[in-house]
Structure 1
Amino acid sequence: MTRPTPEALLEACEHLAGCDPVFARAHRSVGVPDWRYGAPDYAVIARMIAFQQITTKAAATIWGRVEEALGEVCTAGILGASEETLRGCGLSRPKIRHLRSIAEAVETGALDLARVHAADMDAARKELIAVKGIGPWTADLFLLYCGRLDAWPSGDVGLMESYRMLSEAEARHETRAFDQLAQSWRPYRGVAAHLLWNWINAERAKAYAADGGR
């Protein structure tokens, strides 16, 4: 898969807008969303691991240190770096273990990212989550970044909050209920995710500007 074309995204947005008024509102506000595309390689997965469970600002700082320390984030670089070096970048021990486990799987061929990239989504997801360190959310997000229009990062709080705000509901959906709702957005759940992300990020930017950048 490659980055979706603007034409394909527009078609998907119009389909979603016809399925759910929430997406009609989001589409009117942000237009065709920017796609979070990443080449289907180890560095993309490694970055996802580094960014998990901490603030975006802190994760960006840590990732910048990793890139500076290794020059290029690749399987050989991660496996060749000492734990002291990686810890010095700010990575936790569990994340280092996961990064190395995934790197070893790529090096041995247990995880073939070219094969994952070409496979249908179910097979691709199965191969990814078979590797220690790659959970369902990471697998789905990787497939989404690779351009899969129907990949769905279950449990993403930002998506649930964006949908709540757009629908003017008092409470967010629980994860299971939100996943069930998302079934009605197939085969464009990934586009739905990007619309929701783009909309809530735009709203946060407006609030930040209105607050004088504080």
Structure 2
Amino acid sequence: MKESIDFLSTDRILKAVIDTYGIPSIPKREQGFAALCHIILEQQVSIASAKATYKKLENELGQLTPKVVLETPDEVFRACGVSRQKTTYIKDLAQRVTSGSLDFESFKTKSPEEITTELLAVKGVGNWSVEVYLMFCMQHEDVLPIGDIAIRSAIKELYDIHDPEEMRILGENWKPYRSMASFILWYHYLSKRKRKDHL
């Protein structure tokens, strides 16, 4: 971590964020099916809301496995606060794992590009979901999720950059530690708003 912080501290704006709020903790999630289900639930809602929904599912179904998901009626998901659309996504994911077309275990020996290609084939899984999985679950060091609202907002506030392509160009300066830069940006966004959400 020290190496990435030293490198990113050459960016005076990121250094100012670190000086103001401290070094962000790096969250680590389990890899696999349940983790991606959680990320799907996080799409376009707050962290707290997604956590609450995931907790309801766990309380209702126990451990989230492909078998359990496929055997559970859609109405149960709806009762737990999962939208019809996200229920479809989670069941498609479960079907792919069950059929063997998606093997999370194999990700340990695959490149981020290969993992991205496989996950994007899952219904409802886009770039943001893949990037979050790579960062939080697989701990890849060089990911910048430009599609994330908080990341975009932080870059707008700190750098006065509004165009997504220009944001990507800015991110080139943070290679090979764009994930840590993202965590710093998230930390700025949440801390400035005094949000208690934990990544």
| Helix, strand or coil at the partner of 2:26 | coil
Summarize deviations over 1:62-114 as a string: whole Å, max 9, x none: 22211111111121221111111111111111101100111111122211112
Query: Is the 2:43–2:129 contact (alpha carbons within 8 Å) kept by the matching residues of 1?
Result: no
Q: Which residue of 1 aligns with 2:171?
A: 182
Which amino acid is 1:149 matched to? E
Sequence identity, in percent?
26
Summarize deviations over 1:41-72 as a string: whole Å, max 9, x none: 11111011112122334333322211111111
1:77 to 65, 68, 74: 68
* Aligned residue runs from structure 1 range 49-88, under 5 A: 49-88=40-79
* Aligned residue runs from structure 1 range 89-100, under 5 A: 89-100=80-91
Which amino acid is 1:91 matched to? V
| Helix, strand or coil at the partner of 2:194 | helix
Q: Which runs of 4+ in 1 moved over 4 A?
A: none
1:16 and 2:17 correspond: no
Query: Is the 2:89–2:122 contact (alpha carbons within 8 Å) kept by the matching residues of 1?
Result: no
Q: Which residue of 2 aligns with 1:144?
A: 135
123-132 or 99-108: which moved more?
Answer: 123-132
Distance (whole Å) between structure 2 residues aligned to residue 121 and residue 57 of structure 1: 28
Q: Mind listing any 5+ residue stretches in structure 2 that lack a counterpart?
A: none
1:157 to 124, 133, 149: 149
| Helix, strand or coil at the partner of 2:173 | helix
Q: Which residue of 2 aligns with 1:4?
A: none
Which amino acid is 2:119 matched to? L
Distance (whole Å) between structure 2 residues aligned to residue 60 and residue 98 of structure 1: 17
Distance (whole Å) between structure 2 residues aligned to residue 176 and residue 164 of structure 1: 13
Report how far residue 117 of structure 1 moved: 3.0
Distance (whole Å) between structure 2 residues aligned to residue 33 and residue 59 of structure 1: 21
Q: Which residue of 2 aligns with 1:126?
A: 117
1:204 and 2:196 correspond: no
| Helix, strand or coil at the partner of 2:63 | coil
121-130 or 97-106: which moved more?
Answer: 121-130
Query: Is the 2:155–2:167 contact (alpha carbons within 8 Å) kept by the matching residues of 1?
Result: no
Which amino acid is 1:175 matched to? P
Which amino acid is 1:66 matched to? L
Which amino acid is 2:21 matched to? V
TM-score (norm 2): 0.90
Query: Is the 1:16–1:185 contact (alpha carbons within 8 Å) kept by the matching residues of 2?
Result: yes
Distance (whole Å) between structure 2 residues aligned to residue 180 and residue 136 of structure 1: 17
Query: Is the 1:86–1:96 contact (alpha carbons within 8 Å) kept by the matching residues of 2?
Result: yes
Report the number of matched residues.
Answer: 195
TM-score (norm 1): 0.84
Query: Is the 1:26–1:166 contact (alpha carbons within 8 Å) kept by the matching residues of 2?
Result: no
Q: CA RMSD in A?
A: 1.8
Q: Mind listing any 5+ residue stretches in structure 1 that lack a counterpart?
A: 1-8, 209-214
Distance (whole Å) between structure 1 residues aligned to residue 191 and residue 153 of structure 2: 14
